[in-house]
Structure 1
Amino acid sequence: MDPPKTYKEIMIAAPTPSFLERGDLALDRDLENYKKLRIHNNFWRRNTIFIEIEQVKKPSEFVRELSDMGYARHMGDLHKGEFFQQGGFITIYPINSEAPITIEFSGNIIELIREAKIILHQRHSVSIGHRVSKLEPGDYVVHEDHGIGIYRGKNEKKFLILEYAPARKGGDPDRLLVPEAMAKKISPYLGLKNPKISRLGTPLWFETKRKAKENIIKFAQELLVLYKTRSEIKRPPYEPSHFEKSVWDNFEFEETPSQKTAIEDIFLDMAKAEPMERLVVGDVGFGKTEIALRAALRAVLNGKQVVILSPTTVLADQHSETFRKRLAREGIEIERLTRLESREKTKEILRKIKDGKIDIVVGTHRILSKDLNFKNLGLLIIDEEQRFGVKHKETLKKKYPDVDILYLSATPIPRTLAFSLSKIRPLSQITDPPEGRIPIKTFVMPRTDKIIREAIREESKRGGQVYFLSPRIMKMSFIMKKLDKQFPVIRKEILHGKVGEKHLVRTMRKFREGKIKILVSTTIIENGLDISSVNTLIVEDSTKLGLSQSHQLRGRVGRTNIQAFAYFLYPSQKLTPKAEDRLEALLSFQELGAGMEIAKRDLELRGAGNILGREQTGVLNKIGWNLYFEILGQTFNELM
């Protein structure tokens, strides 16, 4: 192992949004230029520390300076923005360094500055083919022919190095060199945290695969019984109409290639004589609503009614506005049905739906009520399907067996994802972002008042808006008092599920119109809200959120070509291993279109017991998620 790198002099930058968002500050380069800035600029003076070997400085004074700059004291594995002290050794993970740094003191003199010998939390991916594009040295992998091994990177000839169990007890691990052309045989292992490593040159892996295949065939036959009844139902195919083009031409964006493919997939399904049941997965802001709108238009032009099920009143309100804006001029009747409608209005809507006078109804759980009867329901669109339970999703399917169903999600729930990965339910993926969209810069940091204050100040400077997310309603009044003191002129509002539906929708409309600049909210903002002027998200305690939920929230910002920032903060002393895993995954998948990878990682973190049953989980862990679903998909093709 190489000796740790040492330094004569370094600069430690404060974990402030100004520095974090730059991302180009060096630890030990350009120090003279930085020192000049420090002389002439108060901000640089307050937010940088320069230290060098043989400098006289008390350890206690250095710790106080770090704390004043916003670094959090923490024992254990370090993340950026944290430090710990052990006697005369102070280890810090500066935001402007790729590794933690240890400063060794001899009394009150700095004796040594070196890279710390601890595990890093900032890891870098190695790109080695589309199926293994997220692999890093040390990751578990599955080779179709040789079993579970450990990826060790590439050699000088660009061969992928896989490590397997030793051939004999106490021996060195075996290695397999895989040419890049054969990388398609390798996939990341998803399953147990520490799976059993296979041995090369034994029949054990083939036997494991054979037994897995037997189990999978049995399981596939059971699942097919559930889905066959639906495929036997017939309904008239949907025909295209020349009226559609005028609506498509009004779309203000250029369709992306994968958006076009998803639309074609849906229209091919609708042209068949049996009802469609398709999942569309696309990252937040990738244009799923436009796909739903075009499917709805085709159904209406074929004389059918459409229902759009949304998880929240706010999202139902937004969808009804979008659909009216695009379709009302074509003479299509659109109504919203939520708890916001008065009793008289609701009665009128229910009567019109029954008489077939409403073409599209957008609503929340209210549209699952028994008193709602459609004259000619053709298409059910379930937006943010991960927010609905199985019973909710089956209600209208049972009542109207021949209804076409379109599920939309950025991060599908494990059960839905499992069915789509195994090809039981067709899947369309929207993988490319709208033109000009740039990835959201994500920061996972210890929570400090300084980071919150400066993140809001930076966004206010450029005239934008801020989502401030607090998972707990009880803390909101305390947060508002603090914000009122720090930003007395900026208009702020609180939003959560207990404020009442009308107040909720009214507040969101004001926020959308830019009349409110800071929205202190619960996770009620998680789904579907599309406000282009909001480009900073602050999550006060991200340990309380699930992985998919955090990714959904991140997607509330960065809806245009303006750089957006998401701060996932956590209390430094209360970071559990599970919360740490979730936050690391969030950092690993920052690129645009990462929703599906996030969902797969969530699937791995949660486990599969409640999705596929205990017996299948055992099989799955022996061969890994990817290979399991590949075999399950092949089995379905053979059985159907």
Structure 2
Amino acid sequence: MKNIFEYLKNLKADKRLKECQLLIVNDDIQAQMASDVVSFLGFKPFVLSDFRANFGDDLLSFSEELQEITKSLNSYYNYKKQDKILISPIRTISFPLPKEKCFDSFEINFADTINLEEFKSKLYNWGYYFVDIVTSEGEASIRGDIIDICPLGSEFGYRVSLFDDEVESIRKFDIEDQKSFKEEIEGFSISPAFLALDEATFEQINEQIETVQTDAFIKDIHSLGFWYLNDLGEYLPQNLSSYITKEALDELEEVYVFEEKRIDKDKFLTIPQIIQSRNYQEVAPANIKEFLTFHSGKKVTIISSSEAKVKGFNLDLNDKDINYLFDNQIINLVSNSEVILSLNKEIKKRRKKKVKLVLDELQLNDFVVHEKHGIGQYKGIEPVTVMGAKRDFVIVMYAGDDKLLIPVENIDLIDRYVADGSSYAVVDKLGKGSFAKLKEKVKDRLFAIANDIIKMAAARELVNGIKINTNKKTLEDFAKSSGFEYTKDQKRSVREIFDDLSSGRVMDRLLSGDVGFGKTEVAMNAMLAVVLDGHQTLFVCPTTLLASQHFQGIKKRFDEFGIRVAKLDGKSTTKEKNEVKKALESGDIQVVIGTHSLLSVKTKDLALVIIDEEHKFGVKQKEKLKQLREDVHIFSMSATPIPRTLNLALSKLKGMSALLTPPSERLGVRTYVKEYSDKLIKEIILREKRRGGQLFYVHNNIASIEAKKADIQEIVPNIKIEIIHSKVKPADAEKLIEAFENKEFDILLATSIVESGLHLPNANSIIIDGADRFGIADLHQLRGRVGRSNKEGFCYYVVEDKKQITDDAIKRLVALESNSYLGSGTALAHQDLEIRGGGNIIGEAQSGHIKQIGYGLYLKMLEDALASLSGETKEEKKSVDIKLAISAYISDEYISEDRVRLELYRRLSKAHDNQEVYAIEEEMEDRFGKPDIPTKQFIELILIKILALSKGIQTISSYEMNITFVKGDDTKETIKSPSKDDDDIIATTMKYLRS
């Protein structure tokens, strides 16, 4: 930073800074520093992303960087003043970048007329994706007279309503929940999502892409267009005078490992180099006020994002000797005559928003569970005409080709069947009553489990807990010594644990959070609080590997606080074991980390037991831990998210905390979808080896895994490979993992058994063979094995033959590749994992029952059991059979996408009161325009269902003009409608139910 600052400051003094229009730096970190310096000196910076692709790469994996480059260049060229500087990392500027003529924009304003065909064509040529639902930048959706679009650089979408071809209204909408804001706006601007290409140029680039030999999964302008700009691209924009940092020049060799289609190396050597600063030093003062007293008499500038922050540092806003600059820059420099200090912390990268709307991804032939009839196969939604009226029905197939037709208003009776990844569902027989018996059996088992949970909680409630003082400065110092800023979830979880420990009650808290989200850091705060108060703590892990990983990390952190940490596991020698046990009993050791061999130790003053990966322990082992001492605080950690509903049911009995935000230093995992070839596998393995890393290779078939090992060995002869799968003995598997962690071999060839639990920071590439045969949740989980340190992870989804795989699989894979599932990928993966997480919390032993009825129903029943034993009365779910001769369905003319209709059917069928229905109707009108007659009538049918349920009515049917109502006690009442028209039948039914 000091070099860039002094150099640019001198250029400014010589009035030559306007000449510097391009500044070439090393990487995105240096680019951010340079940006702060440029804006401090009064100029407008435009920063390009650090684009680390190689010529010919499939750019779907780099879509985020490309979008950033497009946005920055577009803003740069459209900024018409002279005081601007373009800042680019060296790898980005080593490729030809689009010329100024590739950037343009147009506006849509109230009362404009739009020719939809021309508009669509323009968006297509400008690189917009057309999708069902707009959930991120660069996407557009046109549904009848409603246009949704999210231009590049916008945090929300714009919804344009047309009247014929005229713009009737424009509103912003939230891309998370699809709801538009109330106030209308005058207009907005649309810039290109890729480049502003006319049709001829677009076609020309596309034709060229078609002829290219490439392993890109889909050959189109998004995946390869950037490489074929031809005369639209230029190396080092010719009209810009450039400067380059020394670090960027040092990086040249690295940049040219793959040098195809890059600017000539010698060109960079002719650019004026930014030299070493003689006058400025970088500083990081611990106490700013004190630091300033040592530099009195110098020109002082304090940069702060707010006045409140200045007061927080005890600085005087009225001090005439200090020049205050209110901005977000981070510059900390000192020279003989000047001090510049920033009170700001590094700004975190903006995280991609989560889609709140989970679309129903029920695929044809998926297994579903019906609450009464059991497991069947979903065969889609079909219109059926009954008594001259058209209605939609969900078709579910059962054993013996039996078909169950479920009216869509009762779609809430079925759920996706989820068990563990490997189980294949067995379809039930309709009408045999066997599913009801099975449910009863499971229910009895669940009552026993729920009873245990409640008894345990009640017993612990009666005991006074060990009261821990958590208000100590050392605890604050410990958090600061971590070397990173805690996420807000971590801060909240630590606070919750401290409240429990100091309350005088016995703590029983569960912390769930993805691997690498900082659960151990939270646990260490609890351990330290207990030890500082003079008590002991045990940390129990399911495997020796995990125990030794934790031991090294915790020992390192606790050493500087003078706390003795010991390890006790299957690998400890008898002598070591005896020493540790003795020291625990005498109180010489405060912290011991180990496996279940800790279950039988005696302690002097135990106050806290931490159980890691708690779902890996059996119920008996957990009980044994809790019996160590009745008043001991228990803190469990699990890497699987817990379903919200189960969370609520359990939270009455135990404390729940969750870590949902990843640490800021975690990099995303670069994802590629490829077709299998020996050359590809060789390149992936050698690329990872070159950077000193190791690989996972997932081949999900035990029968052919040895043959696969031989294949890889043939492709890359000097590579060491070991195999792991469910039939390898646990002790051998543990040794293998340990050897892998110690870098004794290069590739761990495994089934999907590696999906969870391991933290191996040196393994940063994963190849998933036959990726089209995995569900989206599994692919998402497997990808999480890599990119766990500060190194970028690479994930390769490999398919045998892309011509042979289904459209759905292609959609799923490409969506994961470009990191934002067009609709709901990660949200769905999370939902799937959530359901499984619930199963994990209950314990492995229940997997047989779960397989028989699916996780969803299993958890629902467990919640009911917990609620009824806790004395909560849960009303039994009632249903009503509606056989009205009216046409009521969400028409495909109103909403053409099946999955969106399915999602609305599900939400409407689950609505509990009229207000919910009206809210969904308002949202539908907002998103898709005014409902047509059959859709409007379906909404009214749902209102009839809700009213009928509240009146205890079981059946409503109509024949000609007669409408019959049957109550729970089998009493009937028949009334007459003025006519047999749909609207009269609906109005008469409503009037009766409301009376």
Task: Specify whether residues 136 and 531 from structure 1 end up closer, same or farther in structure 2 by C-alpha distance, changes over 3 A only.
Answer: same
Tell me, yes or no, if the aligned pair for 1:317 and 1:505 is still in contact at 8 Å: no
CA distance in 2 between partners of 1:190 and 1:449 (Å) = 48
Amino acid in structure 2 at the alignment position of 1:192? D
Amino acid in structure 1 at the alignment position of 2:468? Y
The alpha carbon displacement at 1:612 in A equals 6.1
CA distance in 1 between partners of 2:735 and 2:551 (Å) = 18
Amino acid in structure 2 at the alignment position of 1:607? Y
Match of 2:615 among 386, 390, 397: 386
Alignment of 1:370-449 (within 5 A): 371-412=600-641, 418-420=646-648, 422-424=650-652, 425-441=654-670
Where do 5+ consecutive residues of structure 2 fail to align? 1-55, 68-126, 130-198, 223-352, 364-383, 394-410, 418-442, 840-850, 866-873, 880-905, 913-995
Q: Does 1:21 align with 2:65?
A: no
Offset from partner CA, 1:328-363 (integer Å, 9 cap, x none): 232222222222112222222222223222222222
Alignment of 1:260-299 (within 5 A): 260-299=491-530
Q: Does 1:607 align with 2:836?
A: no
Q: Does 1:510 align with 2:705?
A: no
Alignment of 1:486-565 (within 5 A): 486-490=715-719, 492-494=721-723, 498=729, 500=732, 503-504=735-736, 506-511=738-743, 516-521=745-750, 525-540=754-769, 552-560=781-789, 562-565=791-794
Equivalent residue number for residue 213 of structure 2: 45
Match of 2:467 among 237, 248, 258: 237
Offset from partner CA, 1:1-27 (integer Å, 9 cap, x none): xxxxxxxxxxxxxxx985663468989
Alignment of 1:349-368 (within 5 A): 349-368=580-599
Equivalent residue number for residue 323 of structure 1: 554
Equivalent residue number for residue 170 of structure 1: 389
Task: Specify whether residues 348 and 434 from structure 1 end up closer, same or farther in structure 2 by C-alpha distance, changes over 3 A only.
Answer: same
Task: Give the match's secondary structure for 1:432.
Answer: coil
CA distance in 1 between partners of 2:569 and 2:754 (Å) = 17
Offset from partner CA, 1:562-581 (integer Å, 9 cap, x none): 543334557889999xx999
Equivalent residue number for residue 482 of structure 2: 251
Match of 1:192 among 415, 427, 430: 415
CA distance in 2 between partners of 1:304 and 1:593 (Å) = 44
CA distance in 2 between partners of 1:593 and 1:333 (Å) = 44
Task: Give the match's secondary structure for 1:45.
Answer: coil
Offset from partner CA, 1:290-347 (integer Å, 9 cap, x none): 0011111111112222222222221111100001111123222222222211222222
CA distance in 2 between partners of 1:532 and 1:555 (Å) = 11
Offset from partner CA, 1:42-61 (integer Å, 9 cap, x none): xx42547xxxxxxxxxxxxx
Alignment of 1:31-180 (within 5 A): 32-33=204-205, 44-45=212-213, 47=215, 94=218, 133-136=356-359, 170=389
Equivalent residue number for residue 567 of structure 2: 336
Amino acid in structure 1 at the alignment position of 2:606? L
Tell me, yes or no, if the aligned pair for 2:513 and 2:641 is still in contact at 8 Å: no
Tell me, yes or no, if the aligned pair for 1:385 and 1:412 is still in contact at 8 Å: no
Alignment of 1:196-215 (within 5 A): none
CA distance in 1 between partners of 2:811 and 2:617 (Å) = 25
Tell me, yes or no, if the aligned pair for 2:545 and 2:734 is still in contact at 8 Å: no
The alpha carbon displacement at 1:391 in A equals 2.1
Offset from partner CA, 1:425-457 (integer Å, 9 cap, x none): 322121222114344355678876566445435
Task: Give the match's secondary structure for 1:375.
Answer: coil
CA distance in 1 between partners of 2:204 and 2:554 (Å) = 58
CA distance in 2 between partners of 1:442 and 1:619 (Å) = 47
The alpha carbon displacement at 1:384 in A equals 1.6
Amino acid in structure 2 at the alignment position of 1:332? I
Tell me, yes or no, if the aligned pair for 1:547 and 1:598 is still in contact at 8 Å: no
The alpha carbon displacement at 1:532 in A equals 4.0
Tell me, yes or no, if the aligned pair for 1:464 and 1:534 is still in contact at 8 Å: yes
Equivalent residue number for residue 119 of structure 1: none
Offset from partner CA, 1:536-580 (integer Å, 9 cap, x none): 22234679989877655432212256543334557889999xx99
Tell me, yes or no, if the aligned pair for 2:210 and 2:219 is still in contact at 8 Å: no
Tell me, yes or no, if the aligned pair for 1:315 and 1:527 is still in contact at 8 Å: no
The alpha carbon displacement at 1:271 in A equals 1.0
Equivalent residue number for residue 180 of structure 1: none
Offset from partner CA, 1:556-610 (integer Å, 9 cap, x none): 212256543334557889999xx99999999967659975762137659932555
CA distance in 1 between partners of 2:857 and 2:771 (Å) = 26
Tell me, yes or no, if the aligned pair for 1:490 and 1:517 is still in contact at 8 Å: yes
CA distance in 1 between partners of 2:213 and 2:805 (Å) = 31
The alpha carbon displacement at 1:266 in A equals 0.9
Task: Specify whether residues 376 and 20 from structure 1 end up closer, same or farther in structure 2 by C-alpha distance, changes over 3 A only.
Answer: same
Task: Specify whether residues 489 and 590 from structure 1 end up closer, same or farther in structure 2 by C-alpha distance, changes over 3 A only.
Answer: farther
Instruction: Provide the TM-score with structure 2 as the length reference.
Output: 0.40
Task: Specify whether residues 353 and 602 from structure 1 end up closer, same or farther in structure 2 by C-alpha distance, changes over 3 A only.
Answer: closer
Offset from partner CA, 1:197-225 (integer Å, 9 cap, x none): xxxxxxxxxxxxxxxxxx9xx98996655
Tell me, yes or no, if the aligned pair for 1:191 and 1:607 is still in contact at 8 Å: no
CA distance in 2 between partners of 1:288 and 1:340 (Å) = 25
Offset from partner CA, 1:47-92 (integer Å, 9 cap, x none): 47xxxxxxxxxxxxxxxxxxxxxxxxxxxxxxxx6xxxxxxxxxxx
Equivalent residue number for residue 578 of structure 2: 347
CA distance in 1 between partners of 2:571 and 2:774 (Å) = 28
Higher-Rg structure is 2
Match of 2:458 among 205, 210, 228: 228
Task: Specify whether residues 168 and 459 from structure 1 end up closer, same or farther in structure 2 by C-alpha distance, changes over 3 A only.
Answer: farther
Q: Does 1:598 align with 2:833?
A: yes
Equivalent residue number for residue 883 of structure 2: none
Tell me, yes or no, if the aligned pair for 1:191 and 1:620 is still in contact at 8 Å: no
Q: CA RMSD in A?
A: 5.3
Task: Specify whether residues 360 and 539 from structure 1 end up closer, same or farther in structure 2 by C-alpha distance, changes over 3 A only.
Answer: farther
Task: Specify whether residues 400 and 297 from structure 1 end up closer, same or farther in structure 2 by C-alpha distance, changes over 3 A only.
Answer: same
Tell me, yes or no, if the aligned pair for 2:672 and 2:795 is still in contact at 8 Å: yes
Percent of residue pairs bearing the same amino acid type: 28
Instruction: Provide the TM-score with structure 1 as the length reference.
Output: 0.59
